[in-house]
């Protein structure tokens, strides 16, 4: 039996109650906390930084924190996130001048590393750095906002990414982010993903642990 990871995106959390929201999704069965970092430069939105990551650790969160960097430049914020308790750090290759160097920087700080591919970004950018990549993340929406619709072409791209990973022989997770929910997760899993981000599908009203658990259970099923 495959082990699938479900990672609620706290972009859709009630930020006024963030600690409680994270506690609730984890108690509801989430594997990982997906942490969206936006800088109003690489993407047209502004969210949260290392201080909030550190605050979650200080609050007692021990689950892996998956830091998705939608920022440019990338490198100077990486040490801060590593020190703040990030487990995985993923970035968009367009946002750095030196993809290999940025991957090495993440590893040198003791975190797992990943590359994020926008809908129009070709997978070939990963080809020569697969030995330094723990996660390949395919965006199934254009980054910047929660609540957008899954772009169907992503299913084809996921199959290509799955093939590339399998042929490489490396232990690489295939993550998908954007418009994932109960209705499409089966198709997405069949296309080869094993790590699922979901924001608005999980973190919505009613904001209770039971409701979050019902959605996460349905996604896992």
User: What's the rounded Cα separation, in Å, for the pair 137 and 193?
Assistant: 9
Contact letters (x/-) for Zn ion, 18-47, by CB under 5 A? ------------------x-----------
- When binding is defined by CB under 6 A, the residue of 11, 74, 185, 193 that contacts ligand DX5 is 11
| 36 catalytic per annotation | yes
The reply to whether 148 sits near ligand DX5 by the rule CB under 6 A is yes
Q: 209-220 and 18-27 are packed helices; what angle lies between their axes, rounded to 10 degrees?
A: 40
Helix residue ranges, H only, 4-149: 18-27, 50-59, 78-83, 99-108
Under rule CB under 6 A, which residues in 35-74 are in contact with ligand DX5? 36, 68
Does residue 178 interact with ligand DX5 by CB under 6 A?
yes
Strand order in the sheet with 135-139: 5-8, 195-198, 173-177, 135-139, 112-117, 88-91, 65-70, 33-38
173 binds ligand DX5 (CB under 6 A): no
Query: Rounded to whole angstroms, what are the CA distances from 69 to 93, 143, 186, 213?
Result: 11, 10, 27, 27
Does 198 bind ligand DX5 (CB under 6 A)? Our answer is: yes
Any catalytic annotation for residue 58?
Answer: no
Residue with tokens 């809908």: 119
Token pair 């899993």 is at which residue? 189
12 binds, among ligand DX5, Zn ion, none (CB under 5 to 8 A by kind): ligand DX5
177 binds Zn ion (CB under 5 A): yes
Q: Residue with the closest Cβ to ligand DX5?
A: 199
Q: Is residue 164 within the footprint of ligand DX5 (CB under 6 A)?
A: no
**Residues 6 or more apart whose Cβ sits within 8 Å of residue 7:** 30, 31, 32, 33, 34, 66, 175, 195, 196, 197, 198
Tell me which of 31, 36, 66, 134 is the catalytic residue: 36
Instruction: Tell me whether residue 99 or residue 219 sits nearer to ligand DX5 (CB atom).
Output: 219
Task: Write out the residues near Zn ion by the rule CB under 5 A.
Answer: 36, 68, 177
Task: Write out the residues near ligand DX5 by the rule CB under 6 A.
Answer: 9, 11-12, 34, 36, 68, 141, 143-144, 146-148, 177-180, 197-201
């Amino acid at each position: 039996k495959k082990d699938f990871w479900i990672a609620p995106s706290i972009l859709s959390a009630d930020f006024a109650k963030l600690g409680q929201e994270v506690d609730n999704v984890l108690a509801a069965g989430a594997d990982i906390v997906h942490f969206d970092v936006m800088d109003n430069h690489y993407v047209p939105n502004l969210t949260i930084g290392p201080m909030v990551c550190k605050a979650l650790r200080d609050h007692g969160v021990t689950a892996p924190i998956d830091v998705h960097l939608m920022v440019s430049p990338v490198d100077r914020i990486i040490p801060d996130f590593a020190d703040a308790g990030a487990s995985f750090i993923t970035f968009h290759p367009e946002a750095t001048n030196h993809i290999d160097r940025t991957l090495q920087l993440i590893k040198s700080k003791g975190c797992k590393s990943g590359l994020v591919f926008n809908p129009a970004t070709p997978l070939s950018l990963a080809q020569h750095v697969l030995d330094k990549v723990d996660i390949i993340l395919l965006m199934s929406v254009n980054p910047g906002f929660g609540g957008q619709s899954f772009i169907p072409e992503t299913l084809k791209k996921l199959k290509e990414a799955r093939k590339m990973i399998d042929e490489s022989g490396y232990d690489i997770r295939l993550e998908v982010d954007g418009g994932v929910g109960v209705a499409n997760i089966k198709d997405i899993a069949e296309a080869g993903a094993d790590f699922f981000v979901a924001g608005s599908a999980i973190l919505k009203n009613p904001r209770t642990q039971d409701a979050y658990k019902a959605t996460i259970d349905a996604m896992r099923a």
